[in-house]
Amino acid sequence: MTLIAEILISVLLVISGVFGLVGSFGLIKLPDPMTRLHAPTKATTLGVGGVLVASMIYFAVFGGGFSFHELMITIFLFITAPIVAHFIAKAWVHRNLTPAELPPTGGPKGWACKEDAAEADKTPQRPQG
């Protein structure tokens, strides 16, 4: 059982290292901010997540107990990384592009982040009941 755990931990660490290396290389070499955004949010997240999973397996098999803290870190990492990437991309779009350069969204608000209070008052409300 311990040999299988050692092999699994080693494989996870090597794969995580490759993902971290590819993510770091992509962050440096990709041409613009929108493509550079994918490197740390995709590859590096998988790299750090793999190290945390390997650490959870190690402490569960060899350390005498399950590590709840590492599980929480992994969950928060996989939840927050895409959200932060979305915020960064949205801020870049609003700062660097004009509405004429953006493709149509098909919605009434277009690429707006929020409604104006005056427009919200004009929106018909659904009847209650």
Nearest to 5 by CA among 72, 62, 66, 76: 62
User: What is the value of pTM for the model shown?
Assistant: 0.69
pLDDT tens digits, 71-128: 899 889 888 888 888 888 888 888 888 777 877 777 666 666 555 545 555 555 555 5
Is 129 domain-assigned?
no
CA angle 29-31-32, nearest 5°? 125
Is 59 domain-assigned?
yes
pLDDT tens digits, 37-61: 888 788 878 888 899 999 999 999 9
Question: Could you identify the residue written with the tokens 């397996």?
Answer: 57
5 pLDDT band, cuts 50/70/90, is very high
Is 128 domain-assigned?
no
On whether the CB atoms of residues 24 and 44 are closer than 8 A, the answer is yes
Is 127 domain-assigned?
no
Number of domains in the chain: 1
Strand spans (E) along 34-113: none
Q: Torsion angle, CA of 52/57/61/64, rounded to 10 degrees?
A: 40
H or E stretch covering 13:
helix 2-29
CA angle 102-104-106, nearest 5°? 150
Range of the domain at 34: 2-122
Predicted local distance difference test score (pLDDT) of residue 3:
92
